[in-house]
Amino acid sequence: MKAYVIDRYRSDQGVRLAELPEPDVAAGEVLVRIHAAGVNQLDTKIAAGELKLVLPYRLPLVLGNDLAGVVVRVGAGVHAFQPGDEVYARPGKDRIGTFAELLSVSQDDLALKPANLTMTEAASLPLVALTAWQALVERANVRPGQKVLVQAGSGGVGTIAIQLAKHLGATVATTASAANAGFLKDLGADIVIDYRSQDFATLLEGYDVVLDSQGPGSVAKSMSILKPGGKVIGIAGPPDPGFAREIGGNPLLKIATRLLSLPTRRKAARLGVDYSFLFMRADGRQLSEITALVENGTIRPVVDRVFPFSATPQALDQIARGTTRGKIVISMI
């Protein structure tokens, strides 16, 4: 099969097209012929070696963390899926590799594709939708009447998080460029703050939850708008000790995350708020719940641009620029 791989981290060569053996299908696994693959900032971070301490992949490595496709065959013990099923998934972090024609995926990570979406639309959703779900539903338990700030609302996570927070009954604020204000209000944002000319920290107060995708500096600022007991959930750092425990990190990683997050955790304690780092996980059951929201029209994907499989390097270059509205998708068909 054809796949795009990296041979080493931080390489000027980027990804290259390779011919690889077809994946084996073990018990509990499903072989999927990939029709489309979502492109994420995570892919560029992995290629740059930024996550090798927590995700020690063996090189050469096939990149890609989102897929939509058709089941080719199933391993022993798989009963929920059968050949011909249209499915989508964010494969487990140890089983990535969706920039390829085929991939074996754990049945626990798969869900049936929303019937009302194309393959490219479906491939845009798993990683960002699961991130939004695990932040707002699982960790923050957002309830009607609460106030939620979604940083960088026009990005992949932001466009889905706005819709989900609105569905949960929250008042939703977001940061974005002025050019995206109308688009984000159509998605459900009540307040759009132009990050170029306005300071969200002076305009917002009494918030219950902030979903932060901008990193440590933004996390520290986000704490100032929370009410006592409010939560900042960071998906761009700093990683905290809870994350190290969750992934079964080694002693060095546990020490590193404790030190990296210490200033943030101390500030949170002083303000009487909570900070936690979220590295989303694959979860087919949650993805099935998201499917229901897509099929009833509550959540819609936002696809900025679709690249052919042959232009995978260009798709990665585009996502690295950080100017995408929603998601970029690679189409194999």
pLDDT over 90 at 115, yes or no: yes
Locate 175 and state its tokens: 């940061």
Task: Check whether 249 has a pLDDT greater than 90.
Answer: no
Quick: pLDDT tens for 162-218: 999 999 999 999 999 999 999 999 999 999 999 999 999 999 999 999 999 999 999
Q: State the pLDDT at residue 322.
A: 83
pLDDT at 130: 98
Return the pLDDT at 323. 84
Q: How confident is the model at residue 276 (pLDDT cuts 50, 70, 90)?
A: very high
The enclosing domain of 206 has a CATH number of: 3.40.50.720
Task: Report the share of the chain in percent with pLDDT over 90.
Answer: 89
Looking at the structure of the chain, the number of domains it has is 2
pLDDT in the model for residue 309: 98
Residue 39: the pLDDT is 98
Q: 64, 80, 138, 135: which is closest to 112 by C-alpha?
A: 80
Query: What does the pLDDT look like over 34-91, one tens digit per residue?
Result: 999 999 999 999 999 998 888 889 999 999 999 999 999 999 999 999 999 999 999 9
pLDDT of res. 9: 92
CA atoms within 13 A on the CB side of 122: 26
Mean pLDDT of the 97-115 span = 98
For the chain, strand residue ranges (E) read 2-6, 16-19, 29-39, 61-62, 67-74, 86-89, 102-106, 110-112, 147-150, 171-176, 191-194, 207-212, 226-234, 274-277, 303-308, 327-331
Question: For 150, phi and psi rounded to 5 degrees?
Answer: -110, 110
Q: Are residues 233 and 310 in the same domain?
A: no
Work out the average pLDDT over 134-141. 98
Region 271-286 average pLDDT: 97
User: Is-contact 106 82, C-beta < 8 A?
Assistant: no
Nearest to 166 by CA among 141, 192, 148: 148
Q: Is 294 inside a domain boundary? A: no
Q: Are residues 152 and 268 in the same domain?
A: yes
Any domain includes 246: yes
- Same-domain check for residues 58 and 141: no
290 lies in a domain?
no
Res 259: pLDDT: 92
Residue 108 lies in a domain: yes
pLDDT score, position 218: 93
Residue 258 has a pLDDT of 92
Q: Is the pTM of this model over 0.95?
A: yes
DSSP letter at 23 equals P
Rounded to a whole number of angstroms, the distance between the first and last alpha carbons of the chain is 14
pLDDT at 14: 87
248 and 214 share one domain: yes
Q: What is the mean pLDDT of residues 263-271?
A: 95
Residues 255 and 182 grouped into a single domain: yes
> Which pLDDT score is estimated for 30?
98
Mean pLDDT of all residues in 221-236: 97
Structure tokens at 48: 């740059």
Is pLDDT of 306 > 90?
yes
Say if 227 falls within a structural domain. Answer: yes
Residue 11: the pLDDT is: 80
Domain span holding position 100: 2-125+301-331
CB-CB contact of 145 with 163 (8 Å)? no
pLDDT at 53: 82
Domain match, 97 and 112 both: yes
